[in-house]
Chain A
Amino acid sequence: MSASQEKRDYSLTGPEGRKARERGLVAAEWYASPITRKRMKELMKRKDGPAIRDTILWIVLLAGAGVLAYSSWGTWWAVPAFLVYGILYTSPGDSRWHECGHGTAFKTPWMNEVVYQFASFLVLRPATPWRWSHARHHTDTYVVGRDPEIHQPRPPVWRIIIIQFAHLVGGPKDIKRMFMHAFGVVGKEERDFIPESEFRKSFRESRVYLLIFACVIAACFYTGSILPAMFVVLPSFYGAGLMVVFGMIQHLGLHEDVLDHRLNSRTVYMNPVFRFLYWNMNYHIEHHMFPMVPYHALRALHEEIKADCPRPNRSTWEAFREVIHALLKQRKDRTYTIQRELPPTAQPYQYGPKPIVAEASAERSTMA
């Protein structure tokens, strides 16, 4: 077996993290498309309005689907009704978790925090550990041995991909993590990205989550029905499918170990319904390149930098097919990577660290 075909250790505690550091890939300076400081300030500007509107709409839709699901319980209509409820519970739960975790969805910090905590519970992600995990994902995106959020190793593990459509990998893993944290135990990998000062907060959150689980289980016994769990906790399993598709098309099939988000992230054009559910995270190159631009400004950011980026995928379905094709190829050739051409107007890709050059004093940063 050639060296390039050898399996790599994707854990954060193996040798790959050290190798990445030696190659200058850790906490490195990433490529950023040129954009004026004035325009970037406009795009980063925070607002409460769009997120308040979208949150009210989400809660109303979720409650409406819940009423329909409750009314149809005991009939076959319950199947589509709960499917809709589950999708509305989980996909926006995931995107609200994400955007509020970045602190950009609302202008008002407490609103971000309330929705973040609520959404974290919906998608069963312990709030504080995942906040730190996601910060690392943004520091070292798809750098093997550093990024805890790499969706699949190479070659991919199909059994995991398939069962994850019902959240049967991430869900149990996070529930186990909640139990560990509730008893004051932090895993070795987590210690790599969560500072000790945050442990107590993690323990407290996990205890609250487990208390809610206990209440739901008690309600099931009391009513003699699984119905209470169908509304709380279980939707994050049976409603996970669309969230998993959205997650898979973010980075899979693209490059690992590069310092340019145009190489390792995917922007996909989506219909307005998906963009509402996903809170514009389909503009994923844009989000990774400039993570402090709120979701409601990502479309405008896309217009600003699209001449510097590869052509976006034209639909969710096209992106998903591209990912599945790449994963099938990687089964036999783990080095297989989708190559995307840049338009003639774009700056060349930045595969590795920039050469160190003397910087002129008093210069503007890369955004100038």
Chain B
Amino acid sequence: MADWIAACAADDIEEEDVMRFDHEGRSFAIYRSEDSDYYATDGFCTHERVHLADGLVMGAVIECPKHNGRFDYTSGKAKKTPACVDLRTYPVKVEAGTVYIQVD
């Protein structure tokens, strides 16, 4: 059974932004959309080992800070080269002002 892990406070992330969350040797990127919906993906770009939390969020897109690879962070879909492989996404919930992600 996958566990729900407390990642951060909901207010830790600005609207249309991303932050890094590390847990048990794994790294994730937690997103807050313009509408304050929350999403989570693997932290590193699928092209090279560059953390997406340093990238730019534009609408539903996260851009890798090094090579301009882009993903739809709501689905994990790779949208622009050099990113060719989709990102893994994780379920997210917000309870009492805390963001939880479900990690297997």
Contacts and interface: CB of A to CB of B under 8 A. Distances in A.
A44 B56 contact: yes
B82 A135 contact: yes
Contacts of B66: 138-139, 291-292
Interface in A185-242: 195, 197-198
B67 A27 contact: no
B40 to A, nearest CB: 13
Nearest to B82: A135
Give the bracket for the number of chain A residues in contact with chain B.
20 to 34
A46 B20 CA distance: 23
Contacts of A139: 48, 66-67
A104 B55 CA distance: 13
A31 to B, nearest CB: 13
B36 interface: no
B70 to A, nearest CB: 8
B17 to A, nearest CB: 7
A74 to B, nearest CB: 46
A291 B67 contact: yes
B7 interface: yes
Contact of A198 (B8, B19, B49, B81): B81
A240 B17 CA distance: 42
A366 B53 CA distance: 9
Interface of A: 27, 29, 37, 40-41, 44-46, 102-104, 109, 131-132, 135, 138-139, 195, 197-198, 290-292, 359-367
Interface string B82-95: 10100000000000
B67 A362 contact: no
B80 A103 contact: yes
Contacts of A46: 56, 58
Given A135-B67, A139-B67, A362-B12, 15 more contacts: A46-B56, A46-B58, A103-B68, A103-B80, A197-B84, A198-B81, A292-B63, A292-B66, A292-B68, A362-B20, A364-B20, A365-B19, A365-B51, A365-B53, A366-B54
Interface of B: 7-8, 12, 17, 19-23, 47-49, 51, 53-56, 58, 63-68, 80-82, 84
Given A131-B81, A135-B82, A361 B68 contact: no
Contacts of A131: 81-82
Complex A-B, nearest 4 residue pairs according to Cβ-Cβ distance, in ascending order = A103-B68, A365-B53, A44-B56, A365-B20
B22 A363 contact: yes
Nearest to B23: A361
17 contacts: A40-B54, A41-B17, A44-B56, A45-B56, A46-B58, A103-B63, A103-B80, A198-B81, A292-B66, A359-B22, A361-B21, A362-B20, A363-B20, A363-B22, A364-B19, A364-B20, A365-B20
Contacts of B47: 135
B49 A27 contact: yes
A44 B64 CA distance: 12
